[in-house]
Structure 1
């Protein structure tokens, strides 16, 4: 049996669009719902309890709008809230995990770097993941305060953003990292800057396509894929100021959108 309901996707802001675009590539006939909780961004500077409350409220909102599955397209919300969400709700809930495994398996130098928010880096799940591969590689971490705010402001190539990226990337390179893992979905939109700062010899590891593939797998497992021959729709909500929300989402999605307000 197939299911016509939409896939619900949320992030602390616009970063999860990097995953939503990949889901759209793999599942062009699925309807998507996207919530950008931008007024509460960045989640990385919030308490775990606060993130859990926001994640629960948004999940319930998406379920009220008939979501058949939820993609937590935010590393910080995943490490802080996904365990509780899965305990409370029965629909498939897919999260985001930093690509430490592929980076560790591919590293030649034996050193990988991780760019992420402070909340992600201090989480139990992140540290457990790092320890799994600590026998093979050294994992160097770098919190990145200010980067999410630059992306939310659409400052994707400004001098200030370039300066911040260089400040966070260079210490990892100096420590010998030959792979840099993007541990926040927002950072996918800065991948060109990160590659430029790191140099051609460094691989930048992003898991947006891996999350999209896992979404397909989970929908197949639960017989929830749509069999509609029609192109799927995409509906957007944002808690940001309306004109900013429209500009943010339209620019990064690649077309002019109607963005519904949400608090």
Structure 2
């Protein structure tokens, strides 16, 4: 079984890509809804949660782990790999490399949680992959919480997104990296604001391809999905149709 986890609902965007790529694999998805969001927590707090969840999924029989959270990857993926040396671990990191390769203007932006925005891992990604590309990092406090509350049509959210994104477009940014898996569910709103001025960069499909390369025999399972949450698991199930993922419900064991 493949274990996938996030602070909450955001990782469902990665889970959907994983299931599209590995339709016969068995997945266990864990939402740490008792501690969402991770974006305003310290690195030490995030590491404790990631290690606890990794242990939980390993005990459930997961032999491959996907950290479907940029913030958790930045803060704790190395610690998770050290704790489970025999288990492949796939992290999710902002798509700096593809954005830098594809930009025509030489200017890209990263929309991220507060924790990811100030992380050393993001700084290293920019250093290693952006070269002479100008990178604008925009912290977006509250966005993940809006997704968790399924407030995707909230006018206050739309206004805040516009306030943060339009200045980036005015700076000539033509690639906008979604640096939090929750933000995938804001893509329709972002596209309305961005129009043809920039393209969104989401790494969910790339994560799914990397997981497929590591899956081996795990790719041939029964196609079942197990959903778990540290608080209010019923909300996790109810969120699927609201996030246009109702087709996953038929897989739930």
Gap regions ≥5 residues in structure 1: 1-5
CA separation in 2, counterparts of 1:20 and 1:224?
18
CA separation in 1, counterparts of 2:219 and 2:93?
26
Match of 2:91 in 1: 95
In the TM superposition, what is the alpha-carbon distance from 1:82 to its structure 2 partner?
Answer: 0.4
Match of 1:237 in 2: 228
- The normalised TM-score by structure 2 is 0.93
Match of 2:162 in 1: 166
Match of 2:62 in 1: 67
CA separation in 2, counterparts of 1:205 and 1:93?
22
Q: How does 1:106-117 map to 2 (within 5 A)?
A: 106-117=102-113
How many residues were matched structurally? 250
Gap regions ≥5 residues in structure 2: none
Match of 1:227 in 2: 220
Query: Does the aligned pair in 1 maintain the 2:224–2:252 contact within 8 Å?
Result: no
Other structure's SS at 1:105 match? helix
In the TM superposition, what is the alpha-carbon distance from 1:72 to its structure 2 partner?
Answer: 0.2
Query: Does the aligned pair in 1 maintain the 2:93–2:179 contact within 8 Å?
Result: yes
In the TM superposition, what is the alpha-carbon distance from 1:112 to its structure 2 partner?
Answer: 0.2
Match of 1:254 in 2: 246
Query: Does the aligned pair in 2 maintain the 1:71–1:95 contact within 8 Å?
Result: yes
Query: Does the aligned pair in 2 maintain the 1:117–1:183 contact within 8 Å?
Result: yes
CA separation in 1, counterparts of 2:69 and 2:30?
11
**Which has the larger displacement, 235-244 or 20-29?**
235-244
Other structure's SS at 1:235 match? strand
Q: How does 1:44-55 map to 2 (within 5 A)?
A: 44-55=39-50
- Of 153, 164, 184, the residue aligned with 1:188 is 184
In the TM superposition, what is the alpha-carbon distance from 1:259 to its structure 2 partner?
Answer: 8.7
Mapped pair 1:18 → 2:18: no
Residues 258/208 of structure 1: CA separation in 2 closer, same or farther (3 Å cut): closer
Q: How does 1:198-237 map to 2 (within 5 A)?
A: 198-219=194-215, 223-228=216-221, 230=222, 232-237=223-228
Query: Does the aligned pair in 2 maintain the 1:8–1:32 contact within 8 Å?
Result: yes
